[in-house]
Structure 1
Amino acid sequence: MEFCTFDAAYIDNLCAGDRRTQDHFVSYFTALLELKLRSRLHSPQAVEDVRQETFVRVLRVLRKDGGLRQPERLGAFVNTVCNNVLFEHYRSSSKSQSLDEEGQPELPAVGASALDIASSKQLSGKVREILLGLPQKDRRLLKAIFLDERDRDDVCREFGVDREYLRVLLHRAKQEFKGEYLKRMGNPLALGMNAS
């Protein structure tokens, strides 16, 4: 694929609805975005959704007064918008949050083998056992935040604490969970986990 350079005339033509420029924009950035998105999303529909939303947002900004001040940076701008849409997609479709990296999206697996599925079920059972062995307050807190994905302000009200102290309680509960996990499951480095 040959990389293109962009200028103010290209963006003006794009915003004015020039068919040839629009076709070029769509085909050029579709090819680039699909390369990026196919390795990060598991379904063709998700790839298409993120690509279309990226185009909508880019065109919305370009059509505003003073939309893109450096037309030669159009490629970087499209990539940045795509990253933001992708991050939002991860957050909206994620069923669970990582206990290690709060607020970081977990990339979905591309395809799981039967062994992976069986291992995952076994690990889920162990996680439930570990949770049941934790003190009730830690168990309730971890369940509310990570399993039920409740709003943190609601959890603060339930536990009678502010956001800052909730972070302290959550840190302690995660440390307690990790300690129990290590006792039952062994060295996390052998399992490819981060021990911190």
Structure 2
Amino acid sequence: MIPPEQLVTRIEQGDTVAEHQLVVQYQRGLMLALSRKSSIDVAEDVCQETWRVVLENIRAGKVREPERLAAYVVQTGRNQLLMHFRKYPAHTGAPHEADSDLTTDETPETQLRHQRLRTAIGALLNELPQERDRELLRRFYLQEQEKGEICKSLTLTERHFHRVLHRARQRFRELWEQTEMHW
């Protein structure tokens, strides 16, 4: 895994191998973020546009914080997804807002891809060392339980819930980045 600062520098210098490595390193995280808010087919389409925008901006020297490259890629993807939903609201069956549920008119192939992704995420969740992190992330993201229900069963206040969720996501992200090349 090449450090993000080094990737950015090499891409700015015109290194096409570094461009390929960028996509290899961050593709899984981007697809995870996009497929959470859309069908896999839409996520794959938006992914292509995201890489075009990200690479253009890196080549032009517009990435100001190379150490936060992963966050930049994902946020660019989310922005592209919102633009996609606004441009094709009727054709995608996707919601107008990116934080709505997944579409219900998915093909069997798309449903299978979603199930495989959930299985992979579930397996990675099992590697988290803290049980509360595993339970909170699984219930909130995979089982899509309501925040109030989770707070009640884990005896958390709403404010504490957000802090615990934030820390659990950070630990999951670190684990994801460590194992990303092995998937």
TM class by shorter chain equals 0.3 to 0.5
TM-score (normalised: structure 1): 0.44
Report the structure number with the largest CA radius of gyration: 1
Question: Greater relative contact order (Cα 8 A, min sep 6): structure 1 or 2?
Answer: 2
Query: What TM-score do the two structures reach when normalised by structure 2?
Result: 0.47
More helix by share: 2
